[in-house]
Amino acid sequence: MTEYGDGTRSVHAGLPPAVPGEPFLPGPVFAAPYHLDPEAGPAATPNGYGRPDNRTRRLLESAIGELEGGPALAFASGQAAVTAALLSILRPGDTVVLPADGYYPVRGFATSTLAELGVSVVFAPTAGPHPDYAGVRLVLLETPANPGLDVCDLAALADRAHAAGALLAVDNTAATPLGQRPLDLGADLSLASGTKALTGHSDLLLGYVATRTPSLLESLTVWRTTTGSIPSAFDAWLAHRSLFTLDLRLARQTANAAAVVEALAGRADVTGLRWPGRPGDPAFEVASRQMRRIPGIVGFDLGSADRVARFLAASDLVAAATSFGGVHTSADRREQWGDDTAPGFVRLSCGIEDAADLVADIVAALDKS
């Protein structure tokens, strides 16, 4: 079988066989009920009712599965995907280990809903130290972590988790499957918010979970069917269309991040600069060994919330917005959302603008602020 490069894989992932007169990617199928066979009923076709299945969603899941290296299920959002993984696996009396510096709504969900259900929740920093996994049912890692950008050794922690009898899930949102493939590194599940860099146009909400374990896939499928946490057909179609440019978008975002980091590194008024692709960054060694590309996300501190506001007001190209991975450069002051960060900490998501324009704009905005 031919081993294609990332660009080729992204463009062709999940497309149906070529049929003369048909488009490369068929348009979205909008249906709640479908026609059923009068005798065989739902056994005759997977298309019986739109909540359990939809042809447009199947094409997207096929595409994501090809990129992640295992069958995938699409969900209505990244939060829907991660909560589906947690609630379909964990039971009262189980213990779960979560990243102490990961996406804060997941931590909030754990300390409220999971704890109330009788699940013991343990938090550990992404960069370590990591606890003993004895007696743990599930370990969830997020690498690079959001928003601090620490990185952990997935293969080593997968070995530790499996030796203790635990499952390992990895939040692959920041890296995307072109940046790393957690299933290849030993993870049992790879999950992500497709809202961000995977689709990259800031116009839809999406999540997914991929796994090579049939029993986990079955449990997740039952969970999704029962709860109805599915993406719309149009969002699934938009997401699949957006995958075609994934390789190109990520390459430009990474290059822009490298240029921005070089410009910020020498400034005395910018502290706490983080990017796993920068030599000397605490995550550089592991990221260089584990990841195929570094995401276009940069972290730094401007000292105060007021200065962040002045910086954003002075910039012409950096939008004040949450989320990351879009084609437009944006910056998010994470403390305003309740994240455990300093008031002046900024998560900058580099878009696909020309690097020279973006750097000049950021430098000018910093000088004015």
| Digit-coded pLDDT (tens) for 69-126 | 999 999 999 999 999 999 999 999 999 999 999 998 999 999 999 999 999 999 999 9
Query: Domain 6-243 falls in which CATH fold?
Result: Aspartate Aminotransferase; domain 2 (3.40.640)
For residue 325, what are its two tokens?
């991975």
The pLDDT score that the predictor gives to residue 3 is 86
**DSSP secondary structure code for residue 40 in this structure:** T
Q: Are 210 and 67 in contact (CB under 8 A)?
A: no
Average pLDDT over the chain, rounded to whole? 96
**Of residues 346, 141, 155, 170, the one with CA closest to residue 261:** 346
Task: Report pTM.
Answer: 0.96
DSSP 3-state percent helix, strand, coil across the chain (nearest 5): 40, 15, 45
115: Cα within 13 Å, side-chain hemisphere = 11
Share above pLDDT 90 across residues of the chain, in percent, rounded to a whole number: 95
Token code pair at residue 230: 């599915």
Q: Return d(Cα 28, Cα 21) in angstroms, integer.
A: 17
Domain segments of the chain as ranges: 6-243, 246-368
Buried b (16+ CB within 10 A) or exposed e, 78-96: bbbbbbbbbbbbbeeebbb
User: Is the pLDDT at 264 greater than 70, yes or no?
Assistant: yes
Q: Residue 180 has what pLDDT? A: 98
Is residue 1 over pLDDT 70? no
What pLDDT is stored for residue 79 in this prediction?
97
CATH architecture of 246-368: Alpha-Beta Complex (3.90)
The one-character DSSP state at 20 is: T
pLDDT of residue 32: 93
Backbone angles phi, psi at 61, to 5 degrees: -65, -35
